[in-house]
Amino acid sequence: MERIPILRMGDLLLVTIQVDMHDRLAMTLQDDLTERIVRDAAKGVLIDISALDLVDSFIGRMISNTAAMARVLDAQTVVVGMQPAVAITLVELGLTLTGVKTALNVEKGMALLGKTNFG
Amino acid sequence: MTTQDYASRISQTIQQHEDAIGAEWVAQLEAALVRSNIVSREQLRKHCQQFLAAFARATRGGELANMEHRSWDEVRDLLSEISTSRAKGGSSPSETATFVFSLKQPLFTRLNAEFANDPAALAASSWTISSLLDKMGLYTIEVFQRARDQIIVRQQQELLELSTPVVKLWQGILALPLIGTLDSARTQVVMENILQKIVDTGAAIAIIDITGVPTVDTLVAQHLMKTIAAARLMGADCIISGIRPQIAQTIVHLGVNLEDVTTKATLADAFVVALERTGTSVVHKD
């Protein structure tokens, strides 16, 4: 079955979405990510959605929920690389990802996580 | 006599007196032409000649009551051409319509002479010509209006493209000076422009300057908040600057919540904040 890889970098988990998200893939990612955060005792999660150029309300909510779940599990979450079209869609849908940190790219996202965790 | 007979007699009359009618018509138009700089006299004469020739040819078709008929194609094309060129030149609608309506008097004079012995025929033919010219006048105005509408649409688009520049102030700092009222269409363009620019330049801070926005109502505020929220989702911070005293009052009276947004009175203040956040500072040289 198709899965989105979750990479571990020290205290951080890196999720890069490189394929078109469909609903089942999103649900699997949610399961996998929460599982991994607990298993690896991760302090930060970085979700790179720069390759995602199409979202619907379900995927939008899923991104929002995944970030919220990670936060509940005491891992700072940063969503990075959101495309303009995706950002506009999410705002129009009313999903402004309150409480979730955002950054322009992976590098800046890493810097943001580094500051909150170790700085 | 039937309508067909009238038509052929009218047509004959027009063809016989084409030059005289043309001369009278031009004279009348020129007399009315006070603002002669819009349409030149030569152009007016040319239009009159072309139109009258086409008109005379069309009347030969005998379809005086039906302007949609094939025989009027040439006249209609010519009318739209003249009307469009006048709309672009800045003539008023009545000036444009007068072009057609002023043909009535010279035509009626000829018809009067032609049907002097037959009052019934005179009345019928006058009515036919009158309603025909009225239709042409209306057609002229319609084309005129359409040409004007096209100009307005084009200008709106140009305005949309011109009015939303995104400028780079510093490494990682963008500024978006907004000028004019924000409506939904413009906000969409503004939003797309600034978000695309954020991606292109990798800027972390965008300053939206609303010095040039005349009024801020709830809708404009909502549009601004949307843009800011979208920028935040992409990982860029927005600062609103250029809030005039009256606008500050309006925003508070309207109950718009700008608490989550950094606001500054001037672009300079916003720039200082942006520099601080990017870890840069400006010092005076001694």
Provide ipTM, 2 decimals. Answer: 0.79
For residue A119, the model assigns a pLDDT of: 42
Numbered ranges of CATH 1.10.490 in chain B: 3-158
**Can you tell me the distance from the alpha carbon of B250 to that of B216, in angstroms, rounded to the nearest whole number?**
7
- Say whether B233 and A90 touch across the interface (CB within 8 A): yes
Q: What pLDDT is recorded for position B268? A: 93
Entry field: residues in chain A: 119
Instruction: Count how many domains chain A has.
Output: 1
pTM: 0.65
**CA triple B270-B224-B199, angle to 5 deg:** 75
A-chain CB neighbours of B199 within 8 Å are 83-84, 104
B174: which strand partners?
Answer: B168, B206
Tell whether A23 is covered by a domain.
yes
Quick: pLDDT tens for B42-101: 888 888 888 888 888 888 877 777 778 888 888 889 889 988 888 888 888 888 888 888
Q: Is residue A104 part of a domain?
A: yes
CB contact under 8 A, B235 and A82: yes
What is the arithmetic mean of pLDDT over B173-202?
Answer: 86
Report yes or no on A55 lying in a domain: yes
List, for chain A, all residue ranges whose pLDDT scores fall below the cut of 50.
Answer: 119
Residue A61 placed within a domain = yes
Please state the CATH superfamily assignment of the domain spanning residues B167-277 in this structure. STAS domain (3.30.750.24)
Domain with CATH 3.30.750.24 in chain B: 167-277
- Whole-angstrom Cα distance, residue B164 to residue B179? 8
* A118 belongs to a structural domain: no
Average confidence (pLDDT) over B195-223: 88
Interface test with A, best of B196, B234, B277 (most A CBs within 10 A): B234
Contacts of B71 (CB under 8 A, 6+ apart): B57, B58, B60, B61, B62, B63
Comparison of pLDDT for B1 and B137, the residue scoring more? B137
Size of interface A-B (CB pairs under 8 A): 56
User: Is the pLDDT at B38 greater than 90, yes or no?
Assistant: no
CATH of domain B3-158: 1.10.490
Look at residue A117 and tell me if it is in a domain. no
